[in-house]
Structure formats: C-alpha cells, structure tokens
Structure 1
Amino acid sequence: MTFGNRHVMITGAGGGIGRNVALAYARQGANVILVDRNAESLERTSALVRREGPEPVSRTVDLSDPASIEACFASLRDNGGRLDALINNAGLGAWKSVYELSVEEWDYVMNTNLRGTFLCAREAAKLMKAGGRGGAIVNIASTRALMSEPNSEAYAASKGGILSLTHALALSLGPDGILVNAISPGWIENGDYGSLRPVDHAQHPAQRVGKPDDISRACLYLTDPANDFVTGTNLVIDGGMTRKMIYEE
C-alpha cells in the first residue's frame, strides 16, 4: 500500500475509531484532513497525527448541518481541492425506548449519520471527479444494520440506510472512477482493552473482541488504489458474531 502524497479525509476523527484511522493513514504518509464537531478532541488528534506524518488539516464541522458540511468542502476547494479518499466515520445514537424517542432525537441521529454521510460523499465525489483521478469512499456502518438490540431504532435505521446508500453510490460514481464501500464493525473496544472479561472474548468465534486497528486496516485496504475491483460491498468486521446462532436455553 502506498499513500504518500494522497489526501484522505476522516470524519469523526476526534476519538475512537476515527482517531485510530487518522493515525493509520498518517503513518502511511498520507495527508490527512480531520473532521469532527468537537474542537478540543480534534486538536488532540491533530497533535498525535503531527508525530506520525505530514501536518494535518483540521475542520470543525457539525455533520447534522448541511451548511457546515458545504462550508468545509468549499474551504478545501479554495485551498487546492484535492481529495483521494473519504472515510465517513462520524456517527452517534439515541438509546431510548421506542415509546420515548422524540422526533427531534430521531432526526438528529438520521441527519448526522445518514444525511451527513450522503452529503460528505456527494461533496467529496465532486472534488474527486474534478481532479480526474478517481478516488475511494468508505462509509462506516455497523452490524446493527444487520441485527439489533432493543431501543436502538434510530441508530439501526441510520446504519441500514448507509448500507443501501453505499451500493447506490457505487453504481452512480463508478463511471467517474470512484469506489464506494462500507465497513460494518461489531464490538470494537475503544476503551481499556485489558479490562475486558474472558467471556467477552470467548463469545466471539474469533476468540477476541475487536480493536480499532481492525477497522483501520480495512480502510487502508479499501482505499488502496490497487484494489480497484472492490466496490459496492459491505465488509463485516465482527469476529464472526453475525454468523453465530444464539438461543437462550
């Protein structure tokens, strides 16, 4: 894989998977563009990226606000406008009873996760097409698009929408040389991995809980220019959990 002199945007880069992905690309020599709604978290990621690779570009963006997204990409266009890959990672949930979930909460989750993903992909595709080099978009979905727990309706619906959006975009943008894929993580532990219980690991067919590095490696694979025969797919990274039949005895 070679990412030297390539420009990669990561949304939700202020922490968790997004921060790890940003660092992975920086270590590969990419020029990373960090996007997050939290300025303090964004600066912490920027400081870490500076130790690993080229100076990052940071943008504070509220992905629930179309104007904020459009302003971000307008700024990129005004400053050279090159973009080779987009990792649509930002997302949030509202874990409430279906009887209590408000319209405002539903809309905020859907607008941030699903509409925000679409708008970022649309604006990124414009830059990629204008550059004439093609590009790659990776949308971070979730195994909750495929299976659920109670009280996750807004989050699950938004992630299911991301999967459908991904294959639609793959067909629409393919003629412009733009690859579009999704990743559906399962349990990815962003906290203290050492504090996990043996049963947490053993319940996975892979015999361990996932790590952010598992997602970062997948992003590198899906945005590697050599892998230009992979588009419209959903890569499930969950240690095999969605293939495990579970019944209570």
Structure 2
Amino acid sequence: MKLSGKVAIVTGAGRNIGEEVSRMLAAEGASVAVVDLDEARAEKVAADIVAAGGKAQAFICDVANEDDIRATVNGVADALGGVDILVNNVAMSDNKHIFDITTEEWNRTIAITLTAPFLFGKHAAKAMAEGGNGGRIINVSSTSGYYGRDRAIAYTAAKGGVVNLTRSMAIQLAPHNIRVNSVVPNKIGSPVGKDNFDPTRPVSNLRGRPGVPADLAKAILFLASDESDFISGTDLFVDGGVSAMMPGSK
C-alpha cells in the first residue's frame, strides 16, 4: 500500500471529490480524517470506509472559523497519531456578476475557498513539523484560477490565490520536508457545492467526457505518495486537456 501508516486530513470530504479522495487514500492504507461541516455526510463516508476495511474518523469543522480549524487539526493528531497528509479540497462558488455579489458573499467565498486552505495548511504543517517526518499538502485549485469567468468573481479570485498560495507554502515549508502541490480540475463530478452529477452534460476537452471524482483522486494519491517525491510547488492539471485548447476550439 502506498500510504500505509500515514494520517491524512481531507476537507470537504462529505461528498463528490472529497469523498472519493478519502476512500482512495484509505484504500491505500492511510487513516483518514473525514472533515466536513455536515455531520451526517462525514459520518457516512467514515463509516463506509471502515466497513470496507479501512481506517477513518469523521471530524466536524466550520472551515470559516480558525478556532475550529485549529481544534480539528489538533484533534486529528491526538486521535489518529499525527498528521502526514493534508488535502485542501473544501470550496464554495459565488456564481455572481461583480454588480450583483454582496460584500458578505465575497467574504464568505474567499474565507472558505482561500483562507481555509491557508489556515489548514498553517496548522497542519505545524503538526507535521513537530512530528519530524515531513508531510505532503495538496491544494485543490481550478482552471477558474487561471481564467476569468462571466458568472463568478469571488471564486475565480480565490482559486487564483490558491495557485500562488501553493507556491509560497512549498517554498516556506521545504525546510521542514513538507512538499506542497496543487491539482487543477475542470468540471469534475458535480458542480462546487452541488450533489447532482450529470454525466451527459456537454464538455469541450481533449478526452470527450466529463471528469469524474476518481480522475482527480488518482492525481491526489500520486502527489500524496512517495512516487512524487521530487515534485514540489507545482500545479498538476487534471482537466481533460481543456487548458491546452485555443478559446473557442471544438
């Protein structure tokens, strides 16, 4: 198993990408902290992992609250024996035009999509450094962090921030043997904050199909494992090739 004996925190783990990442890391031997604000979702994912023979525990956290984040990281370290891997998956989208979004909506989107990865990274990295064995942090960015959109403003700003947050974290945490990278999905699974996935929705990419959570989970597993030991501070695009296409291409 690629992650035997490791402890992993996955945020936004109650559904979609976070759920699949939790299952995959557990299947590779990690003890997984399933972090979500929705207790029922978190408990179900953790219970399913345990029923399948893995190790997991649910942790309820409001990622817009630093005290909650700090308590969650400390709780994971105490309950599971440290922190080795952090997957910053949690996010929300505003889906608003600049004329329509309120300051409150802007602030909450930034808090959950950008500030939460910073705070989880800060507190988890401290636990990793104290453990003395290094660690791996994988931030989930988005193609929306590289391109503007006509129906989101705070989300694109936040995801763009995640891109450079990843690079600065990688530089600052390298002396502690902590590798930091990001994955960059495009239209994988259900839309951000939604439950329903429509596998027939039209996409324009080089693979000719929508992405599914397992596509991103496999990339995250790679970055969390020793197989990627010489990779740090980079962005792995898992977008079906859409970012390679000229705008307007079919």
TM-score normalised to structure 2 length: 0.92
The aligned residue for residue 132 of structure 1 is: 132
Alpha-carbon RMSD? 1.8
Q: After the TM superposition, which residues 178-217 of structure 1 pair with which residues of structure 2 at under 5 Å, given as runs? A: 178-190=178-190, 191-192=196-197, 194=199, 196=200, 200-201=202-203, 203-217=204-218
- Find the counterpart in structure 2 of residue 53 from structure 1: 53
Q: Residues 130-169 of structure 1: matches in 2 within 5 Å?
A: 130-169=130-169
Q: Shift of the alpha carbon at 1:86?
A: 0.4
**% identical aligned pairs:** 32
Q: Please say if 1:231 is aligned against 2:244.
A: no
CA distance in 1, matches of 2:19, 2:129: 27
Shift of 1:226: 3.5
Task: State the alpha-carbon separation in 1 of the partners of residues 19 and 79 from structure 2.
Answer: 24
CA distance, structure 1, for counterparts of residue 78 and residue 47 of structure 2:
24
1:96-107 counterparts in 2 under 5 A?
96-107=96-107
Corresponding residue number in structure 2 for 1:72: 72
Aligned to 1:221: 222
Count how many residue pairs are aligned between Structure 1 and Structure 2: 245
For the residues of structure 1 that align with 2:72 and 2:249, how far apart are their CA atoms?
49
CA deviation profile, 1:166-218 (whole Å, cap 9, x unmatched): 00000000011000000110011234455x05xx25x2112221111110100
Contact 1:26 1:52 in 2 (8 A): no
Q: How far apart, in 2, do the equivalents of 1:111 and 1:166 lie?
A: 16
How far apart, CA to CA, are the structure 2 residues paired with 1:128 and 1:78? 13
User: Which residue in 2 is equivalent to 1:63?
Assistant: 63
Report the alpha carbon displacement of residue 62 of structure 1 after superposing the two structures with TM.
Answer: 0.6
In 1, the alpha carbon distance for the partners of 2:124 and 2:99 equals 37
Aligned residues of 1:23 and 1:52 also touching (Cα < 8 A):
no
SS in 1 for 2:227: coil
Q: Tell me, in whole angstroms, the C-alpha distance in 2 between the residues paired with 1:68 and 1:120.
A: 10
Provide the rounded CA distance (Å) in 2 between the counterparts of 1:207 and 1:60.
Answer: 37
Relative to the length of structure 1, the TM-score reads 0.93
Give how far 1:246 is off.
2.8
- Quote the Cα distance in structure 2 between the aligned partners of 1:35 and 1:16: 13
| Alpha-carbon distance change, 77 to 207 in structure 1, aligned in 2, over 3 angstroms | closer
1:29–1:53 CA contact under 8 A, matched in 2? no
Give the match for residue 193 of structure 2: none
Distance across 2 between alignment mates of 1:95 and 1:75: 34
